[in-house]
Amino acid sequence: SRPWSHIALDFVTGLPPSRGNTVVLTVVDRFSKAAHFIPLPKLPSAKETAQVVVDHIFRIHGLPVDVVSDRGPQFVSRFWKEFCRQIGASTSLSSGFHPQTNGQSERANQVLEQALRCLTSHNPSSWSQQLSWIEYAHNSLPVAATAFVRRCRRTWKKAEKTLARVSRRTKAAADRHRIPAPRYVCGQRVWLSTKDLPLRVASRKLAPRFIGPYQITKVLSPVAVKLKLPPTLGRVHPVFHVSRVKPVFHSHLNSSATNPPPPRLVDGSPVFTVRRLLDVRRRGRGFQYLVDWEGYGPDERSWVPARDILDRSLIEDFYRQRGGSLPGAPGDAPGEGGNVTSPG
């Protein structure tokens, strides 16, 4: 009724050792005449045979309706009969001294032995290396009884046309809801979506939807661009789909992005203005604070040791808002000065 619904099993024995194998289990699909040749180290028990056909046959082709075999000890055992009953398959055993009952697997065995004789007569111990090629050649030949390969080609062509038609229909339906992406060029500045970026923010829901703008360094394709990212995003791959960026538009209501404010010099050292502290963590004997810098975006936030924060009120306000007490660990004592800090 369908391929691999009725299968036939048999063993080829008496082979020289090859990569630890001495036996071949032949499994033939009685519908299409296709076969699998499975090398084994020895004649398996009923339980081992069941595991082999599950691993190599059933997981690929599905469960059969009927299993034909000879009257070997594996196939007449109670375990094998119960195994077939559990998977919903009937068992058909060949008549004594009449192997033609299992003629398809016997014929496959003859083909296999002839092929091995031709390919490995000069080196018999290499037969297991040739099994895959013999199986491929066997399953590629047209079968006179069924013309299965020709029927497969017709079915494949029909399925290919149907899939192409469905694909075009699906694409047309999706394109009705798509907006063509802008045509980007090198040097253009764009906003970058924060949807999949590992930003350290107090509230992901309230975080900005876009950051930047960043410069396009290369247009890889109509749907992919490479951006020049800041060091804080050094671990982020700089290539993005165009759905993750949007161009910067300039107008009277939306002026162009201004450059961040330069640092101030205090005693010859650069200091930056802090907007607020967002988080705290312990590092060694002291603490570090996640700083939101004045004039910089969320992607420029960084961890700063407590000793580099010059305005003590920033730390006090941070703990007051969190309802906690100010730590007194070594390295926390702030220096003198205003609400500026070195990003050290």
- Residue 206 and residue 277 in one domain: no
- Indicate whether 87 belongs to any domain: yes
Which of 222, 247, 272 is the C-terminal boundary of a domain? 247
What is the CATH number for 321?
2.40.50.40
Asked if pLDDT for residue 258 goes beyond 60, the answer is no
- Residue 74 and residue 133 in one domain: yes
- Indicate whether 258 belongs to any domain: no
- Residue 121 and residue 218 in one domain: no
Rounded to whole angstroms, how far apart are CA atoms 172 and 160? 18
pLDDT at 98: 47
- Residue 47 and residue 98 in one domain: yes
Domain that holds residue 298: 264-341
What proportion of the chain, given as a percentage, has pLDDT over 90?
30
Q: In 3D, which of 96, 173, 105, 108 has the Cα closest to residue 137?
A: 108
Which of 80, 109, 141 is the C-terminal boundary of a domain? 141
- Indicate whether 169 belongs to any domain: no
Rounded to whole angstroms, how far apart are CA atoms 119 and 111? 12
pLDDT at 56: 95
What integer best gives the mean pLDDT of the chain? 81
Q: State the pLDDT confidence band at 151, using cuts at 50, 70 and 90.
A: low
- Residue 134 and residue 10 in one domain: yes
Residue 16 is given by DSSP the state P
Cα dihedral 116, 117, 119, 120 in deg (nearest 10): 90
pLDDT at 342: 45
Looking at the structure of the chain, the number of domains it has is 3
Rounded to whole angstroms, how far apart are CA atoms 124 and 147? 34
Which residues does residue 214 pair with via DSSP β-bridges, in sequence order?
190
Most confident of 43-52, 101-110, 199-208, 252-261: 43-52
pLDDT, tens digit, 9 for 90 and up, residues 163-207: 888 888 888 887 787 777 788 999 898 989 888 787 766 666 767
pLDDT at 96: 47
C-beta atoms surrounding 150 within 10 Å:
11
- Residue 204 and residue 233 in one domain: yes
- Residue 211 and residue 291 in one domain: no
CB 26 within 8 A of CB 105: yes
- Indicate whether 252 belongs to any domain: no
Q: State the pLDDT confidence band at 257, using cuts at 50, 70 and 90.
A: low
Which of 125, 141, 157 is the C-terminal boundary of a domain? 141
- Residue 19 and residue 130 in one domain: yes
Q: In 3D, which of 147, 71, 73, 143 has the Cα closest to residue 102?
A: 71
pLDDT at 263: 64
What is the CATH number for 201?
2.30.30
pLDDT at 90: 94
Residues 124, 129, 135, CA angle at the centre, nearest 5°? 110
- Indicate whether 323 belongs to any domain: yes
- Residue 42 and residue 83 in one domain: yes
pLDDT at 94: 76
What average pLDDT does this structure show over 40-66? 95
- Residue 222 and residue 274 in one domain: no
- Indicate whether 174 belongs to any domain: no
- Residue 38 and residue 136 in one domain: yes
CB 216 within 8 A of CB 183: no
Cα Rg of the chain, angstroms: 36
- Residue 212 and residue 137 in one domain: no
- Indicate whether 253 belongs to any domain: no
Asked if pLDDT for residue 312 goes beyond 70, the answer is yes
- Indicate whether 173 belongs to any domain: no
What is the CATH number for 124?
3.30.420.10
3-state secondary structure of 251: coil
Whole-model pTM above 0.85?
no
pLDDT at 174: 77
